[in-house]
Each structure stands twice: as structure tokens, then as C-alpha cells.
Chains A and B, each alone.
Chain A
Amino acid sequence: MKDLSLHILDIVQNSVVALATSIQITIEKNLQKDFITLTISDNGKGMDKAFLERVTDPFTTTRTTRKVGLGIPLLKLNAERTGGNLAIQSELGKGTIIKATLIPSNIDCLPMGDVAGTISLLICSNPTINIEFTYMEDKKEYSICTRDIQESLEDVSIDNAAVYPLVKELIQSNLEELQIRNLG
């Protein structure tokens, strides 16, 4: 993957396939303490212990169309490459929490990428799942969720193609503001 936002896009698909109805995506960036964490938690069907142990193995997948599953192994690789790590907690029937920690001062740390685009794509293409996104940078925080957006849109459906650019702009402008405030 070229950047961290693509990893998020990828990992969240696992939650979608696991039939989650609620997904929390949290990005925390702290340059003073030198860490970035990506946390994705869902209330999907979860994994049993045996599967959880094998899940970072690239030859583990639930798919039938191919024999390899690289989403989690690639994120693990990119996290460990910076000196960080990947932790997964899961309970059958309850859901899964996956947390990647990266060290941004390391030269191998991937850039953030198009976070606004990724999140809005996920929100707009999964209208039945409530996706909550939180971005924290130092002590500032921005969060938004599917439900709030759908409420503002009232009877216009969130998966309508015309909605996506608006949601992207909404998230983008808020993230930019957060970063500008941090610089100043």
C-alpha cells in the first residue's frame, strides 16, 4: 500500500465482510511523543482463538476466490518496519479491535494519504453501517459519523453519487482546519 489511508480502506473491508453494523475508525497522531495509531474496531462476528492466531499469516483468508489474504499482514509489515507494532483483539460474536502503531520519525513510515477521501468513500458506500471516524492530533480532535451525516441529509440517501463529493469536502475542510490550528 502506498499510504496509511489505503490500509484503513483495506482493513475496514474485513469489518464489512464480518457483518458489522458499527465501525469505529480512530487515527491518533502525536508528533511530540512520536507515534501514530490507527484503530479500527467493529461489532462484527469476531474470530475464534485459533483463527486469531493465524490471522497475520498471509495464507490465512476466509475468501473462496483466492488462497491468500494480505490485508492484515501488509499492515503489520508496514507498522513493524517503522519500529511499531500491530495488535488484534477479537471475540467470537462480539467483534474485533485492530490497532496499528507506527513511528512517524522513521523514514519507512508511510504518509497518511487521502484520509478524507477514504473515510467518505467508506461512509457513502456502506449506508447500512454506522461508521464513526475520529482524528486526533496532539490535543485536538475531530469526529464524524454516518448517522450525523444521514440526519443532515434527511431523505436524500447517503449512497447517492452526488453526496460523496460533499462528504469528502466536509471531512477535508475540517481536517485541514485542525492541522492549520496546530501549526499556529
Chain B
Amino acid sequence: MTKVKSLADLKKMKEELQAKIEVREKGEVSENLVQIKVAMATCGIAAGAKPIMEFLIDELDKRGINAVVTQTGCMGYCYAEPTIEVKLPGKDPVIFGYVDKKKADEIIEKYIKNGELVDGIIPTNYETIDNK
């Protein structure tokens, strides 16, 4: 990959990017995407949520999974940080706690790809953070 050094370089990369995005997003609306929220309040950041978020963005891209990774605030599970909320299309959101890179990898491979549940789910009658 050529190095991006200026906004002009970024502009050049755009077409390449566009082609990549189009192939993947064909016919998909955001409801059909995997949505991941990483808890990034003080507690999450201190526990290492930033490297986990970067890992998720990188790996999902590498593994060709079309997902939206966003930040969210504290979900109230400070003891279990880093926590992430994963919402598969058509399913209720699930929160995973104590997510390190190994766990994140497991979540991608098992839960996101195959819908298999993995250890570390925080069980609640949970609604997504935005509705709280």
C-alpha cells in the first residue's frame, strides 16, 4: 500500500476504497450489518478498550465481515471492562465482558461468523445503552 502522507494521497486512495466498499455493501442496509459498540468511558479506556477497538476494526476488515464498530459510553459494567456490545442482524444485542484480543478473536470467529455463543456474556434483561 502506498503511504498516505497528505489529503491528496487520501483522495487518491478513495477510488480503491470505494471499490472495496461497494463489493461488500452491495444490497446491504445498515440493519443487516453486524453492529459492535465498544464501551469507551474512563473505565473502558483505562482497561484497554482502545487497542480492542482497533483490533476489531482491523480484523473485521481483514476477514471481510461488514460491520460497524462504534464507541459508546459506560454501560455500567466497569468491573468487567473492556466490554463490547455485539448486535447481529435480527437478534438482540449481547454484551461480552473482559474482552482481550484473544476473546475478541473468539467472538468474531464463533459468535459473529456462526452465531455460537461464547463465554463471557454479561447476562441481563438488557436494552441497548442508547435506550437507557
**Taking beta carbons and an 8 Å cutoff, which residues of A are in contact with B?**
1-2, 6, 9-10, 13, 17, 63-66, 69-71, 74, 114, 117-118, 121, 125, 144, 148-149, 151-156, 159-167, 169-170, 173-174, 177
Contact = CB atoms under 8 A, between A and B. Distances in A.
A166 B21 CA distance: 14
Nearest to A120: B54
A13 B68 contact: no
B4 A121 contact: no
A155 B22 CA distance: 12
Interface string B90-114: 0000000000000000000000000
15 contacts: A13-B41, A13-B71, A63-B74, A66-B78, A70-B43, A117-B54, A121-B71, A149-B10, A151-B7, A152-B8, A156-B17, A161-B67, A163-B17, A164-B57, A174-B5
Nearest to B5: A173
Given A17-B73, A161-B68, A162-B20, A10 B58 contact: no
Contact residues of A: prevailing secondary structure: helix
A162 B10 contact: no
Contacts of A177: 5
Nearest to B10: A152
A69 B54 contact: no
Contacts of B5: 170, 173-174, 177
Nearest to B54: A117
Contact of A154 (B4, B14, B40): B14
A52 B13 CA distance: 45
Given A152-B7, A170-B7, 16 more contacts: A1-B45, A9-B40, A10-B45, A13-B73, A70-B42, A74-B46, A121-B53, A121-B54, A144-B7, A149-B10, A151-B7, A152-B8, A155-B18, A161-B69, A173-B3, A177-B5
B11 A9 contact: no
Contacts of B45: 1, 6, 9-10
Closest 7 pairs between A and B when the two form their complex, measured CB to CB: A65-B76, A152-B11, A71-B42, A169-B4, A152-B10, A152-B7, A170-B4
Given A6-B46, A6-B50, A170-B9, A153 B75 contact: no
Nearest to B3: A173
Contacts of B14: 152-154, 156
A156 B4 contact: no
A74 B42 CA distance: 9
Contact of A69 (B42, B57, B71): B42
A10 B60 CA distance: 24
B70 interface: yes
Contacts of A155: 18
Contacts of A66: 74, 76, 78
Given A9-B50, A117-B50, A166 B41 contact: no
A9 B45 CA distance: 8
